[in-house]
Structures are given as C-alpha cells and as structure tokens.
Chain A
Amino acid sequence: MFSVSRLNPLSRLRASSLLRYTLLHTAIVLLLCGSALWLVKVYSLGFYQQRQDQFVLEQLNSLASLARSSSESEFVSAVRQLAEENRQVLVVFKSSNGYLGNLNYLPETVPLSPAMGSFWILGDSVLGDSRFQKVRGSRINSRWGPLVLAYNSSDFNLFVSRFTLALYTAMVVVLLVGLVTGFLFSRKVLARLRGINRVTAKVGEGQLAARAPVSHRGDEFDELSGHINHMLEQIEDSVEAIASVTSSIAHDLRTPLSRLRIKLDGYLQKGSAGVEDILEAQAELDTVLHTFNAMLELTKLEYGQGNLEFARCDLADIASKVVELAEPLAEVGEQSLMLEVQQALVVQGNHQLLFRILFNLVENAIKYSPEGSEINIRIDQDSVSVIDQGTGIPESEQEKVFQRLYRLDQSRTTPGHGLGLSLVKVVADRHNARISFENGEGFFAVKLTFQR
C-alpha cells in the first residue's frame, strides 16, 4: 500500500498538496494585487505629471511672448517676480548679467520647449529640503537669453515616495495574508481529504465500521464521502451476511451433525449397523447437505454471483405449472388450489427461479392452512398473490421471516429448513419485485409486485 507517511519530512512537505496549493494561491493573489496597484500608480501619477508638464509649458509660452514684446529690464523683473512669487515653479534665466531666478546654474540637458526633460537639483537652496531631487522642466531661448522653467515637484515627490511605500507595504500585507489564507484554505480542503484518507486506510486495515466524515454542506467532498460510505455499507453488509450465514450454518448444521455422530457412536458400540440404521444416518446427512446447499445457493444468488439467464416469463404459465406440481400435495389435506388470472403478466425473469419461489409460497400456504381450505393464486397486471385461509404471519414477525433459518415458533414442528422465504426474498430482489403481506379477515396473502 502506498503511504505518504513513509517519506522523510522534507519530501513529505514537497509531496504535500498543501504547500503547492498555498504557494500557488499566494502567487496568484500577489500578481493580481500588484497589477492593480501598478495600474493605479501609472494612471493617477501619470495624469498628475501630465498636468504639471502642461503648466510648465503654458508658463514658458507666456514668458516667450513676453520676451518678444518687452525690453530686457521688463523681462528680467517679470522673471524675478515669477521666481519669488510662484512657489510652484523653479525658474532660471541666464541674462547678460548672470543667472537669475531660483537656481544658480542653467541645466544644459533640458530640451527645448515643448519637449520636457528632467534634471537633478540639490533641494536645499530652493526647496528647504536637503535631498537631491529630480524635477521636470523645459527650456526656451528667448531674445534676452536662455531660460529653464521646472515644476517644483517636492510635494509631488514626497507624495510619490509615500505612495510607493504604501504600495510596497500593501504588497507585503497581501503576501502575508495570501500565505495565511492560502495555508488555511488548503489545509481545510486537505483536512477533509485526509479525513477520507484516514478512513480508507482504516478500512484497508480491516476496520469496516469506519465511515468518512460528511458535513451538511453537500459539496463534492460530501458527495465523495457519501459514495465511500455507501460502498462501505455494502461491503460491511456483505461481510456481515457472510458472517451470519457462516454462523447460521454452524448453528443449524451442528444439531443434525451431532445427531449423526451420536448415531454412529451407537452403531460402533453395538458393533454393527443394519440397513435401517444406515438409512437413518443417510437421511440425517441428507438434511445437512440440503440445508448447506440451500444456504450456499442463497448467498450466491444474493451477491449476484453467476449471471442468471433472463427471458420473458409468463407468470400465468408458470403458476399453472406450479399448480400442477403442487396439486397432489393440496389433495392430501383436501385443500383446493385455484389459479385466477385477471390479466396476463409477462416479466423479464428467470423461469426456474420464479417457478421455485412461487412453488415455495404455494407449498407454504398448503403447509400452514387448515384442511379443506382454499388456496388461491391471483395474477393481475403487475402482481402475483398467493392467498390462503391460514393464520398467516403476525405483523411483528413479517420482517424477520426473510432472515436465514428464521422460523415462526408455530412452524418449528413442521418439516423445512427455514430458507424458503429467504429464497423468495432474494429472488424477488433480483427481479425488482416487492413482497408484501396482507393479514385479512380469514385470509392471508403474500403478494409479489413487479415493477413495470
């Protein structure tokens, strides 16, 4: 038998679906959250940056037109005013008298408007922040000299860095939550599988009473457990039946076998055995063999061994043959045997077996009905009934009469081995027929109803 528990812990972990499912689950969650956050970042920050770029270019446009229409001193004062008043922009203008504005150099890498480019500044001087920062700007070459205008993005940068931090934190949280939920989820799923596995292992060891756990959710696991349990019940029933048949055989055969032994002992002591003695012993042995064969046959039939040949069987035809066979038996007790066919009944079945059980029922009726009474076989569109005027079977006993070797107290004294009704039941089952009893005023009926 294959067993996971034989592997070492590491291989066991690797072999476990728990780990694989957890990791897979986490990876999927991480990927989804990551993509979502990345999209948020790209769209929101991108939009913000676009607006900044637009603002920078508008400012540059107005400065360029100012440069064309004004004198140098007017332009210089406008630039100075912009640098001092508008905290949103950084501006540097290289005039003939040197650098003017927020910065003390003109970044050469910045492209001409409307292209935008970024450059690094040490924020200390203008931004009150001692870090290097990246800003985006553009350049115009005005009549009075080159000018670079950039957006003061220290707030934005701070926002971006916070945003990124939040993003990474979120990813870590997602990772952790993913791992934990994945683990818990997989464990839950696998715990149910393990439950089922434990049960099958137990059954493998011979504990047939083990049952797979079934919750009330009715999901696939419950379905699986249900099927397994049903299977186990069937197996258990079979095993029990075999055990009970075995013990009944042992019980029921022990009596005649001991009698036989006693008889043989007697012959031994006498020193000889006459023909009569031997015949008695033989009859005893025949009883044993008969019971034995009957039980074996029942078990075989019940557990579907041997394919029965099924053909169309006309029950009226079978019943008339039964009547013909049983009639002399009824005549002994001056009983009359009647066949009443109300409607033809043809079923798929095994002729021999149907004959046997019908004969069994009629024979029982003959055996247990008073002298001079009437026994009726009635056939209608879906059932065959054997109706007699005997005392019948008390309702409390009706379930038990199908048990192997069960005999009503009143019938203990009549010959028979207590297997007749068991056979009727087994054969009825194999023909999908239902057996019912009816205890009426002065009559008793056993009815076999066939499914159409």
Chain B
Amino acid sequence: MKLLVVEDDQTTREYIAKGFTEHGWTVDVADNGRDGLFLASGENYDIIVLDRMLPQMEGLKVLAALRASENKTPVIILSALDGVDERIKGLKQGGDDYLCKPFSFGELLVRAEILTRRGRVETTESTLTISDLEMDLLSRRVVKNQIEVTLQPREFQLLRFLLEHKDQVISRTMLFESVWDYHFDPGSNIIDVHVAKLRKKLDAAGGASLIQTVRGAGYVLRESA
C-alpha cells in the first residue's frame, strides 16, 4: 500500500508517516500544496492524506486540480476546519473522507483501510463471520454460538459495521457517523450504551465475548486472544 501525506506541520506529518510505515505502508510526504500535487499526479498512490490549510497551494485547490485531471485516488481530507459546512465543501470538492483535527491515528488508519478496500469485490459475500458469530446479510439472521440472536435493525447495522471492519479499532464518532449517519459529537455515552446492549445480547448466547472496548480509542471486534 502506498500513501502520500500532504501536511505542512512537521510533527503531524511525521506522526502519520511513522504510523503508516509501522503498518507496512510505503509513505511519501510533501510539506506544501504544490509539491503534494506534483507527487500525487506523478505517482500511483492508494491513498492521499491531504491537509487543507497548506502553504503555496490550498488543500482544496490541490484536490480540485487532481480531480480535474481525472485522478481518482481516494483522498482523506485532514483538517482543523471542522464545521459541517466545511466537511460538505471538502466532500463536494471530491474528497472521499473528512477527518477533523485533532484525530487519533487509529481512526485515520481505519479510514484509510476502508477506502482502499472500497471498490474491491466484497458485496458478493452474503455472510460475515468471526469466531462463532455468523451474520447472514440476506436473511438478516445472526447466529452466535449456534443460537439465533434477535437484533433490532440498528443493532444489526452496528454489528454489521463492526464485522465488516473486524480487527480494526473503530472510534465512537466513526460508529455514530457510519451507523446512524449523523455528523456531530454526541458527547454523552450514548454509543457506549448501544454497544453495551448489543454486547449483552451476543454474550447471552454464550461463547467468547467478541466486542472489546479499547480504552481511549473505541471498539474492536476480534477473537479474544
């Protein structure tokens, strides 16, 4: 996997580069918009992480130029501009995802991985499984430890999202955005309550508890070690 980070803040840039390198990615960096556009047009990247307020050429301009030249590389906009209108602007300009600063590296990584997976054939699978849990997307049935678990529609979506991103740490914000489709920080422990409820239902069927809480980060669905 090849990544381009266009970010003028050195600390952030190195933090991202180091993190992705550790996860086996090849990372190129640029500290201004013009270099970023140059690299992005020349090389073949899997993901571009693009800051908005950049010297020499603004992030959204880089993005617009890239999209105008038919370059379809997925772009994650990373910005301190966090208003709903700013997000909309970024996504309308051709961004594939929008992450606000401050951000957690885990979330950026997950988002990048989701974007690289997008477009690959995965919808043909009609069942998602992990350990003793199986979800049938067509009949909307969930079986855990050979016992059928009845889920509310939202719980089903929640579990499906976790299953689709198993072994990845998903933040509360990501869950809220993806499962409920609302873009704000709900602030309270509302996501925790929903996850707890889902976990309780799954655990009631017996077997290993699969939804794990990662303190300070979010949740992960994984086979317990």
Contact = CB atoms under 8 A, between A and B. Distances in A.
A293 B188 contact: no
Interface in A322-338: 324-326, 328-329, 331-332
Contacts of A363: 188, 190
A406 B84 CA distance: 25
Given A293-B82, A306-B85, A325-B190, A282 B183 contact: no
A356 B182 CA distance: 9
Interface string A270-310: 00000100110011000001100110110010000111110
A283 B180 contact: no
A415 B190 CA distance: 13
Contacts of B186: 359
A347 to B, nearest CB: 18
Nearest to A291: B187
A308 B182 CA distance: 15
Contacts of A355: 182
Chain A facing B: main interface SS: helix
B184 A282 contact: no
A352 B183 contact: yes
Interface string B170-213: 00000000001011111110100110110000000000000000
A417 interface: yes
A324 to B, nearest CB: 6
A297 B83 contact: yes
Contacts of A321: 180
Contacts of B180: 321, 325
A45 B28 CA distance: 107
Contacts of A331: 197
A328 B183 CA distance: 20
B102 interface: yes
B154 A324 contact: yes
Contacts of A293: 82, 185
B193 A306 contact: no
A255 to B, nearest CB: 18
B83 A306 contact: yes
A356 B83 contact: no
Contacts of B187: 290, 294, 416-417
Contacts of B65: none
B214 to A, nearest CB: 10
A352 B185 contact: no
B190 A326 contact: yes
Given A279-B215, A325-B190, A359-B186, A352 B102 contact: no
A146 B86 CA distance: 113
Contacts of A306: 83-86
A329 B190 contact: yes
Interface residues of A, number: 33
B128 interface: no
Interface string A117-143: 000000000000000000000000000
A290 B185 contact: yes
Nearest to A308: B85
B147 interface: no
Nearest to A300: B83
Interface string B74-89: 0000000011111010
B105 to A, nearest CB: 12
A42 B137 CA distance: 110
A331 B83 CA distance: 32
A275 B216 CA distance: 10
B37 to A, nearest CB: 27
A357 to B, nearest CB: 11
Interface centre among B85, B188, B190 (most CB of A within 10 A): B188
Contacts of B193: 328-329, 332
Contact of A328 (B83, B88, B194): B194
Nearest to A321: B180
B185 A279 contact: no
Contacts of B88: 309
Nearest to A286: B216
A147 B186 CA distance: 123
B188 A415 contact: yes
Contacts of A326: 190
B183 A307 contact: no
A417 B186 CA distance: 12
A134 B224 CA distance: 135
B82 A328 contact: no
A423 B90 CA distance: 24
Contacts of A290: 185, 187
A352 B184 contact: yes
B122 to A, nearest CB: 28
A352 B83 contact: no
A283 B189 CA distance: 13
B215 to A, nearest CB: 5
Interface in B44-94: 82-86, 88
A321 B82 CA distance: 24
Contacts of A300: 83
Interface in A399-452: 415-417
B197 A328 contact: yes
Nearest to A420: B187
30 contacts: A275-B215, A279-B215, A283-B216, A289-B102, A290-B185, A290-B187, A293-B82, A294-B185, A296-B82, A297-B83, A300-B83, A305-B83, A306-B85, A307-B85, A309-B88, A325-B180, A325-B190, A328-B193, A328-B196, A329-B188, A331-B197, A352-B84, A352-B183, A352-B184, A355-B182, A356-B182, A363-B190, A415-B188, A416-B187, A417-B187
Given A279-B215, A279-B216, A294-B185, 12 more contacts: A275-B215, A289-B102, A293-B82, A297-B82, A321-B180, A325-B190, A329-B190, A332-B193, A352-B84, A352-B183, A355-B182, A363-B190
Which 6 residue pairs spanning A and B have beta carbons closest together? A306-B85, A328-B193, A279-B216, A282-B216, A328-B197, A279-B215
